[in-house]
Structure 1
Amino acid sequence: MLIDGLQCGHFDRGSFEALSRGNVSCVTVTLGFWEGAIESLDAITHWRDLVAECADLAEIVRTRQDIEDANARGKVAVVLGYQNSNLFDGRIRFVELFHELGVRVVQLTYNNQNEYGGSCYEPNDSGLSRAGLKMVREMNRVGMLIDLSHVGDRTSADAIKASHMPVAITHANPHEIIPHPRNKQRYVLDALRENNGIIGCAAYRNITGDEYCKTAEKWCEMVARTVEIVGIDHVGIGTDRSHNTTVKDLDWMRMGRWSRDIDFGAGSAKKPGKVPPADWFQDVSDLGKIPDALRTVGFNAEEARKILRDNWLRIYETVFPGERTSTA
């Protein structure tokens, strides 16, 4: 059984069936990118309806124990997340409200700078703002995991320093292995280790590279190199796999409402649209190849369990109760 720290797209019954075939015990799903509060509430209601329709396969979870209970019932545990903080509409009190609705993972910034800090694509990363510091502390307080995947390196380091709780880079890779603006510099990963956080290694071709997309074993070699950098206790899986995503969806992720011009996101003019999934990852159920591939590249059973599941469970158990509960 394994945990995938980030997937996105249009899930349906077939998505949950594929996750089950791949022995995925828990997945964090993306409910939004650029949407404000009302649209984000719509997304929650959509997911509640979807999971209700697939109640024999999936269950929305809020705690580590919920994950274990859902798995015991043979269901995929679903963690609700957003890849931007627009859902709060600049209102810090909305963090608690969305947490009460089941949201457990939120990224501080997506592809653009916002009031909280800088993005990986800004030419000048401003660092964590005053509002960003307040947001980090509020997310810590209520029990919402801070995601830094698309956040600029300087802002990421600032947020890690400010956080009283472990943080996550849910879907990225080390920059020194695959140089790309979306991947993380060594000093950020060093800070992540000290914070007791986690990086979920991505399988998205644009930030993983063709070489590590060839086979599950090659991808796990990249995971092994990530472990060498940040340590065995701080690496998990965060594939960034998308479900039923169209070019229109990709345009929304990359351009939202903020630009009239074409933006390529993690792509480029040479790779402007959808890129093929990793060669070994043609179907979501192919996640089931990872355990054997980890063993093939040299991880023992205990190390593999940490990467597959245990490191994410530790993060969830630590963060989701929030400081209110843990200090009461």
Structure 2
Amino acid sequence: MRPCRQGHPIAAARSLALTSLPSRPPACPAHSCPSPLWSTSTRCYGTCWRCTRWRPRPTGDLVRATSQLSATPPAGVPPDGNNRLGVVPTFQGLQMVEQDIGVIRGFRELGVGVMAITHNWKNWNGDGCLERTDLPLTGLGRLAVREMNAAGVLIDLSRAGVRTSLSAIDESGAPVVFTHSNARAVHDHPANLTAEQIDACARRGGVIALSAFPALVSGRPQPRLDDFLAHLDHLLDRVGPDHLGLGLDFDDRVRKRYAHDPLPDPPYTFPQGLSAPADLDNVREALEDRGLSASERERLLGGNLARVLSRAWEG
């Protein structure tokens, strides 16, 4: 089980200086992401889920070391001037839950605030986006969605299969989030979203957080900032600023599992002009150039994610 990080500029929770993390995420420009949220996720493949389920104390120690969040963060928390980061422990896939959905509530009590139904590949709940099949939620997956709603866990559908994500949106009683996804109409990649996924997420009040991960931005060896902004423009035209955020995926280190996975091996070459949190000024300037109001910019740069977190964590 390995901590990994995925940045979301957001003012969403009581913050924490990340002195307990193995390495500190790079600083953001204070005026572009005044109170960022940094999600920390664990990947469990093979049999390591047993370590998570049957040795809960180390897992709890990891969660507590990276999370000092209020149980219900107020939406749109203003920056407190302390230059701190909010941290939300996240599971990318429910492998550690397996068939025992009752442990979802236990992980939530430990502090895990966001869980993905699947992540790239199939599990007990549904299909991932890299599977050759495209099936909806299983019966167990529907129960897992209901349990996450009841436990106050935000449901993440990035890297879920198309039909799995659509059925999860229909099943969920709370808005969902795609934490790191772009538009398939701009760049055709299985981890990017179809028009149907985009519309369904927005219709139910959810948020799509755009990713700077190069394989999802364009087919260029090194994407450009304009390639990323093409996804932004497409999504602004389709669903507007109230359903968008940033999930730039700077520090996630994806590894291939199958030879046909359409993901490159590291090192990753992020877009020119958007390769680190310090480049968020470029995104803010692009939003200003597109005529978004100050309120719309703040919602896109964090307020929308604060809203769905608050709604989900209310349970």
For the aligned pair, the TM-score class normalised by the smaller chain equals 0.7 to 0.9
Counterpart-to-counterpart distance in 1, 2:75 and 2:175: 20
Query: Structure 1 residues 13, 119: CA separation in 2 closer, same or farther (over 3 Å shift)?
Result: closer
Select 1:200's aligned residue among 209, 232, 250. 209
Counterpart-to-counterpart distance in 1, 2:291 and 2:78: 31
Percent identity of equivalent pairs: 25
Runs (5+) with no aligned partner, structure 1: 52-58, 256-261, 323-328
Question: Secondary structure in 2 aligned to 1:220?
Answer: helix
Q: TM-score, normalised by structure 2?
A: 0.82
Query: Structure 1 residues 293, 231: CA separation in 2 closer, same or farther (over 3 Å shift)?
Result: closer
Mapped pair 1:29 → 2:15: no
Question: Secondary structure in 1 aligned to 2:27?
Answer: helix
Q: TM-score, normalised by structure 1?
A: 0.79
Mapped pair 1:2 → 2:2: no
Question: Secondary structure in 1 aligned to 2:126?
Answer: coil
Select 1:318's aligned residue among 304, 311, 315. 311
- Alpha carbons 2:118, 2:159 under 8 Å: kept: yes
Deviations 1:29-84 (A, max 9, x none): 23212251534753552354467xxxxxxx54543239838845442111111111
- Equivalent position amino acid for 2:62 in 1: H
Matches within 5 A, 1:92-103: 92-103=101-112
- Alpha carbons 2:92, 2:119 under 8 Å: kept: yes
Number of residue pairs the alignment of both structures matches: 293
Counterpart-to-counterpart distance in 1, 2:71 and 2:219: 36
Tell me which protein shows more strand as a share of its residues.
1
Q: Which residue of 2 aligns with 1:68?
A: 77
- Equivalent position amino acid for 1:45 in 2: D
Counterpart-to-counterpart distance in 2, 1:179 and 1:189: 14
- Alpha carbons 1:70, 1:77 under 8 Å: kept: no
Select 1:126's aligned residue among 128, 131, 135. 135
Question: Secondary structure in 2 aligned to 1:146?
Answer: strand
Deviates more, 1:296-305 or 1:119-128: 296-305
Q: Using the TM superposition, give the Cα deviation of residue 224 of structure 1 relative to its aligned residue in structure 2, in angstroms.
A: 2.2
Query: Structure 1 residues 4, 115: CA separation in 2 closer, same or farther (over 3 Å shift)?
Result: farther
- Alpha carbons 1:30, 1:81 under 8 Å: kept: yes
Q: Which residue of 1 aligns with 2:278?
A: 285
- Alpha carbons 1:61, 1:77 under 8 Å: kept: no
Select 1:143's aligned residue among 148, 152, 164. 152
- Alpha carbons 2:63, 2:110 under 8 Å: kept: no
Query: Structure 1 residues 304, 266: CA separation in 2 closer, same or farther (over 3 Å shift)?
Result: farther
Query: Structure 1 residues 37, 79: CA separation in 2 closer, same or farther (over 3 Å shift)?
Result: farther
Question: Secondary structure in 2 aligned to 1:87?
Answer: coil
Query: Structure 1 residues 292, 138: CA separation in 2 closer, same or farther (over 3 Å shift)?
Result: same
Counterpart-to-counterpart distance in 2, 1:300 and 1:93: 44
Following TM superposition, the consecutive aligned residue runs of length 4 or more in structure 1 with deviations greater than 6 angstroms are none
Counterpart-to-counterpart distance in 2, 1:79 and 1:67: 16
Q: Which residue of 2 aligns with 1:38?
A: 51
Q: Using the TM superposition, give the Cα deviation of residue 202 of structure 1 relative to its aligned residue in structure 2, in angstroms.
A: 0.6
Counterpart-to-counterpart distance in 1, 2:100 and 2:70: 25
Counterpart-to-counterpart distance in 1, 2:223 and 2:69: 30
Q: Using the TM superposition, give the Cα deviation of residue 130 of structure 1 relative to its aligned residue in structure 2, in angstroms.
A: 0.4
Q: Which residue of 2 aligns with 1:259?
A: none
Select 2:177's aligned residue among 168, 180, 190. 168
Q: Which residue of 1 aligns with 2:294?
A: 301
Query: Structure 1 residues 102, 71: CA separation in 2 closer, same or farther (over 3 Å shift)?
Result: farther
- Alpha carbons 1:28, 1:81 under 8 Å: kept: no
Q: Using the TM superposition, give the Cα deviation of residue 223 of structure 1 relative to its aligned residue in structure 2, in angstroms.
A: 1.1
Counterpart-to-counterpart distance in 1, 2:204 and 2:124: 24
Mapped pair 1:179 → 2:188: yes
Counterpart-to-counterpart distance in 1, 2:269 and 2:146: 39
Runs (5+) with no aligned partner, structure 2: 1-7, 13-19
Counterpart-to-counterpart distance in 2, 1:281 and 1:11: 24
Counterpart-to-counterpart distance in 2, 1:62 and 1:82: 18
Q: Using the TM superposition, give the Cα deviation of residue 20 of structure 1 relative to its aligned residue in structure 2, in angstroms.
A: 6.6
